């Protein structure tokens, strides 16, 4: 004869955490009202006893906050400004507010997610950071009370979440193919940060275009990057020190491309005469640097609007399918002054001309 396991109660949590049930209640519903150490003990007790955040949320979420949480890897990155604006506009049209959390990943991300969820401050999460701990996300989004979640921009591979992203790999392939079509055969690449999913997707697109054209990818022309101007400037410093340089470079984002341009100019080189450069994102500043930057324009306004709308649909029960939504938006090549045909020394050998008989 099997015995049914007793459902954990708030009293069980209180005993394990060595606090009163009132303190447990405050820690779950208003975590800002208790100390950090007490909140940590209660969170641990919730997990150990099996009184999971989802179970407690079922009784706590008797009203909606009409607020969505937007979690960003770096709020200082200008890439997110247009996205945040469109999220706020879409949310306001649907009667929701927006709460922004910065640098959401890391060891502390699980506690922060539980705090937002259990205190009833938000109704769903719009996640822009693909490095957030997957186990914590799975716990929050699982039964019996799944927390609404949309992953945007940085897809989490193999995770069963609704996703809205852009065609990073294909867009990178298009950017590289633009350089090839101009006649470049010696092409380098400024990578994104190590381990970032976008870094891998954009490098894969670069490699695909190079392979299709039968061109060599040289490791000394693959420059380290971090999606910022400083790393782009460092890549430019490496470039100018090379005895044998590429005639064109595809950068994984606009900031690194702009940093690269700065270093090139500091050393008396000209773009695009000495080197062509293509960026990725089409930030507002891309058209105002010199020369204006050729880049892949991500549909950031549409991405923010669609992602916010999809999340609110999930919150309001309009998306009931168990099959995760996977929406991929297309990017657009914007040709400006930073790309041109290569100098004569960088051209591929001409095909032999056969005289007409």
Instruction: For residue 65, give both structure tokens.
Output: 């906050």
255 shares a domain with 227:
yes
The reply to whether 310 falls in a domain is yes
Task: Supply the pLDDT for residue 240.
Answer: 97
Is there a contact between 52 and 82 (Cβ–Cβ < 8 Å)?
A: no
Domains of the chain: total: 2
Q: What is the pLDDT of residue 39?
A: 79
192 and 268 both lie in a single domain: yes
Return the DSSP state at 347: B
What does the block give as tokens for 18?
A: 């060595």
The per-residue pLDDT for 145 is 56
CA 263, distance to chain mean position in Å, is 27
6 domain-assigned: no
Q: Which residue from 266, 258, 345, 342 is spatially nearest to 79, judged by alpha carbons? A: 258
97-106 pLDDT, tens digit per residue, is: 999 988 766 5
Question: Per residue in 4-45, pLDDT tens?
Answer: 456 778 888 888 888 888 888 777 766 667 787 887 788 778
Angstrom distance (rounded) from CA 261 to CA 264: 5
- What pLDDT does 45 receive? 82
Same domain for 140 and 284, yes or no, is no
Residue ranges of the chain with per-residue pLDDT less than 70? 1-6, 29-32, 52-63, 104-111, 113-114, 117-119, 133-134, 139-145, 319-323, 345-357
CATH number where 159 lies: 3.40.50.2300
The residue segments making up the domain with residue 231 are 168-298+333-346
Q: What is the pLDDT of residue 22?
A: 82
234 and 205 part of one domain: yes
Alpha carbon distance 255, 231 (integer Å): 9
């Amino acid at each position: 004869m099997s015995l049914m396991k007793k459902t954990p109660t708030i009293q069980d949590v209180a005993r394990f955490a060595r606090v009163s049930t009132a303190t447990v209640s405050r820690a779950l519903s208003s975590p800002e009202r208790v100390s950090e150490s007490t909140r940590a003990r209660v969170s641990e007790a919730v997990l150990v006893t099996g009184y999971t955040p989802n179970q407690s949320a079922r009784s706590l979420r008797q009203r909606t906050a009409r607020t969505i949480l937007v979690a960003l890897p770096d709020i200082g990155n200008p890439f997110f400004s247009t996205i945040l604006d469109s999220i706020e506009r879409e949310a306001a049209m649907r009667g929701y507010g927006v709460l922004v959390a910065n640098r959401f990943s890391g060891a502390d991300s699980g506690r922060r997610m539980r705090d937002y969820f259990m205190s009833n401050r938000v109704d769903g999460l719009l996640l822009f950071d693909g490095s957030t701990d997957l186990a914590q996300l799975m716990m929050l989004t699982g039964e019996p009370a799944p927390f609404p979640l949309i992953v945007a921009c940085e897809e989490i591979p193999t995770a069963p979440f609704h996703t809205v992203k852009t065609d990073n790999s294909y867009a990178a392939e298009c950017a590289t193919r633009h350089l090839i079509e101009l006649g470049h055969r010696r092409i380098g690449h400024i990578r994104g940060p190590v381990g970032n999913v976008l870094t891998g997707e954009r490098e894969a697109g670069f490699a695909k275009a190079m392979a299709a054209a039968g061109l060599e990818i040289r490791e000394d022309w693959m420059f380290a990057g971090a999606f910022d101007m400083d790393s782009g400037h460092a890549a430019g410093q490496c470039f100018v020190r090379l005895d044998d340089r590429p005639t064109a470079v595809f950068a994984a984002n606009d900031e690194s491309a702009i940093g690269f341009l700065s270093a090139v100019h500091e050393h008396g080189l000209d773009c695009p005469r000495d080197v062509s450069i293509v960026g990725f994102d089409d930030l507002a500043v891309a058209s105002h640097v010199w020369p204006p930057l050729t880049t892949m324009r991500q549909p950031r306004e549409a991405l923010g609007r669609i992602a916010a709308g999809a999340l609110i649909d999930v919150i309001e029960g309009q998306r009931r399918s168990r099959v995760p939504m996977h929406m991929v938006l297309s990017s657009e090549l914007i040709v400006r002054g930073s790309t041109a045909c290569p100098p004569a020394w960088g051209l591929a050998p001409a095909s032999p001309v056969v005289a007409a008989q």
